[in-house]
Structure 1
């Protein structure tokens, strides 16, 4: 249940009556945040002790395990005791991290705590990777990727260390994390070369991976050290000027520029291992020292936070006074602007746009520019001006979309009409040729086949007329004089494939006005076809008709499985109020056609459950379309040829009134395509 609605003016003044209370809550919230920030400075030390430091140990042991695993994969030696020993050290570090993380759980930020738990989960899948390495079921690059993906989760723990609001500390923390990631790439390089040096050769993929690592390491190292302040950067300046780092750069260059795929590596394993290990250990030591110094810088900042709490209280009081003054001053003006905007928007939504849509549906031309004038709203406020422009844009877009859709529907209708007219013309010619052949051929078997083609062509003509109806036009067939409703029903049945199952019981004392004959035949044919399709082939379909007080009723009943109540109600709604034709709903073409035809002549079509479990379609023809079947109207009795038109076929099933079709012999001549 929706709450009680109030005007904008009332809501604005309601807000103005509570500014002091609202701002007091804000003060309390801001003060709590400030105190919490101070506490976070204190917590940094505990987080570093119980999370950051143990995580660094885990990463170091994981990097060592990665190095030994790739060395093992690159060699042919089956001895792996040193690798198993490293496994134990990695597991011990992981257990220590889990214990420390539990001790500092309340002090650890939620995002960082979540990353720690994810790291522990990733470490849990090491057993599967180790088994693949031990059995040599994994390539060196894949093993490198597996270990590196777990290490990446560990570095994401560092990424969540931004618990200090001080921008300088945040910047220095980010910088040392970048340097740590550069050190991780050094470890990846060492592991990859350990495996390839053991194998004696490096593949193209391994060389490409190493070259990519070189670029990433240099970029991360340069970015990280350049963002550190002078004090924290100094140890890295010393490292950069050292001979060991120069030798490391030379070895990197040698691998990327000298090594060729499939060739023997010109790098000594001992030299690379000693140089890389020295650089890696130095980077690890410097990273730990600088991280500890950054943590120590956070403690003195807590006192400054408390002073800011007091200042915030004073500034909050000033904000209350200023807010009340300016709010009351501009409240009336803003309320007037919003009221004008509301009036313009409602006029657009309830009057102007529906009128444009109605005119488009009626086929009228609409000038988009004329129908989308600027909204007459006072706009002294930027937001009101923006909303007004947005409404104007929505107005233009809506009208343009409606015009485009109308043009699209019109174009689709013209395509339907053009194709259907062409098909209709060809089918009429085909029917004339079949009629000539039927009169010339005397072989019963050939005549029977021609009758089948004739019947198929008649159904194709009905489908072509369906497209004409969907396009909004009227089929070419039509009659001036009334036609017996019995002949109308028979003509409809002859346009259905399984016509032998249909029993027609329609009195001959009523006739249908000529202009409605074609459409009613089509309508009844669609209903009969649905009845034959959706009922078992061994059952019959009944077509009954009778004169009622409001006109003439035609009932089409099948003995099928019926339709559910919900679907039946939906279909009846669409028959009573036919929607616009939807190209995406092409499986309902018959329903669209019936709805259009019924709407055109005021015929009421509805569906209801049959007493036999199937469905009964009821078409009520209005009194204006029905006349008495006088001698002036076409009737079966007057127009049936003297020779028997229908002859039973032995063994073909029930001997009803449609056991074997002799082409259109029992129909009035105008229903056979002849002129009355």
Structure 2
């Protein structure tokens, strides 16, 4: 019942827990995903810093090359080397933390960043040690910066937040616009320093301007109002306006094919342009950092929210489990406790109280003192109704047991009455036959009298079996020990077909007087059973032997035997005194033997014979035995014709042992009912 109740409540609970667990797992996985997005956003912030500083290094390198590699231009360039190295060290550490869990593309770009970092040193060497021109230097640095900036697009990969994805697209577009503005700074600075546009520089300058405007359009289309406002507020002012004027003047002079003087009022056109356009570039960088910080905050917020959702869901599930456990315990306790009491007391009634009551009824027959204690279940539900119904069953069982006890007592009384009446007639018949035997001289008629005496003796044994089944004491008792050989002779006198019995008594011993009658009866039942279930042309052997604790009398036949199940069942009945039931009519001898053996502590066991048939082994304990001085001789087997078929008058010799046993029984019997 408990398991069924648990299953009844557990199934929907498990389903709810599975759904909740899926939510917990999904929230936890989302938290892990946002953590990885946060890692990529932090690397993106480092990329923004490195790209800005590296672009500045590139523009200074182009100015250095265009100015003829003078020491005055080299010093600020080398100072920028240190700043870039510091920025790349932080980016290298964060790029190394990107794994395949962050996405295959992110991992590939992270490896690409680490691979591109040594190219910065190679570019520096080329600038300082060779005569490379400004435009190739721009291209080389631009390739490195573009490779770095590709990582911006990987930030939102794996996430499902649209706001975060839009911020990432705005950051990527602004980073590209920043790079285009920086390239314009480097190209025009080199042009201003050289005083004219070199081959390809004008096209590169105009392409960078076009890319800047295109990327800004993309930025404005995907950026939020707040981000656009931040850009407008930051990338503005005098320097931005001045840079736009200088750019337009440079384009106008380039069309006139004359020298480029972008700032007539200034003696250093390159520095003047560099400072002006840096206002735009630095402003874009500031907006990039602001958007990058916003992305980091969003990633951290989403991660915290996902982890909080996972914790809340797990807490709810735990509370649900505790609530279900509490409800299950309460409901199960309210059902299982009465059921356990009902089961415990029902088993006690069935296994102890009712058998004890039935046994008391059989022993005393007094029903006045018998009461039925109700089962301790006082509920009014179905369990209580079952308990009351079982109480009624208990009362009805006791009532039926009482009726059975009365019926058994009546049957026993009938057994005793009929047996004693029959015994009286049999004893009178035996006395009459004894008188006729004493005065008879004719041998043939004397043999008939002996046969009648033998039949009467067998009838008396059957009457005594009825008394034993009724629980009465034996009517015949001896006051002195009787030898074992005489007991065997007396047992043979009470069976039919004694001529087929071979007796080998080789043990010196006698049985105590109070047990003589029952021992004779017990052996007679076993011998008759062996004769009944063996072919008429075979013999039954009665032999003795000594073992520890007493004398063993064996009755061996070569009959049909018994199956192992029948043999085990029969030995079980012989080992424990059986109750008289319907099967007693079919195996009355087995019941009689078991009761006689129990009465005197005799052990009886049946075993299968190797050549077929059975061996009935009877252990007479030392408590029943009395030693006698003469050794008992082996009693010879009588001839097949029997003593009654002899032509001469039967005598009381040892060869005529059944007749002698009859006389022994008649003479040694002290009382006769």
- State the TM bucket, normalised to the shorter chain: 0.3 to 0.5
TM-score normalised to the size of structure 2?
A: 0.47
Larger relative contact order (C-alpha < 8 A, sep ≥ 6)?
2
TM-score normalised to the size of structure 1?
A: 0.47
